[in-house]
Amino acid sequence: MQFWFEFASTYSYPAALRVETLARQRGVPLEWKGFLLGPIFQAQGWNDSPFNLFPIQGRYMWRDLERVCADLELPFRRPSQFPRNSVLAARVACRFAGEPWQPDFVRAVFRANFAEDRDIAQPVVLEHCLKALGLPGTELLDQARSPDCKTLLRARTEQAVALGIFGAPTFIVDEELFWGNDRLEAALAWATRRAKPGC
The answer, yes or no, to whether the previous bond of 169 is cis (omega within 30 of 0) is yes
Please tell me the distance from the alpha carbon of residue 173 to that of residue 73, in angstroms, as a whole number: 27
Summarize pLDDT for 109-159 with one digit per residue, the tens: 999 999 999 999 999 999 999 999 999 999 999 999 999 999 999 999 999
- State which residues form the domain around 172: 2-195
Q: List CB contacts of 145: < 8 A, sequence separation 6 or more.
A: 88, 91
Q: Mean pLDDT lowest for which of 45-49, 158-162, 194-198?
A: 194-198
Distance between first and last Cα of the chain = 16
Overall pTM > 0.75: yes
DSSP 1-68: -EEEE-TT-TTHHHHHHHHHHHHHHHT---EEEE--SHHHHHHTT-SS-HHHHSHHHHHHHHHHHHHH
Q: What pLDDT is stored for residue 197 in this prediction?
A: 53
Question: Residue 90 is part of a domain; what is its CATH number?
Answer: 3.40.30.10
Do the beta carbons of residue 108 and residue 101 sit within 8 Å? no
Predicted confidence band at 45 (pLDDT cuts at 50, 70, 90)? confident
- Quote the pLDDT of residue 196: 64
Total domains in the fold of the chain? 1
Q: Are 110 and 13 in contact (CB under 8 A)?
A: yes
| Model confidence pLDDT, tens digit, residues 153-186 | 999 999 999 999 999 999 999 999 999 999 999 9
Considering only residues 19 and 197, tell me which one the structure prediction assigns the higher pLDDT.
19
CA distances from 59 to 150, 162, 180 (A): 34, 31, 18
d(CA 67, CA 13): 13
CA distance 96 to 90: 10
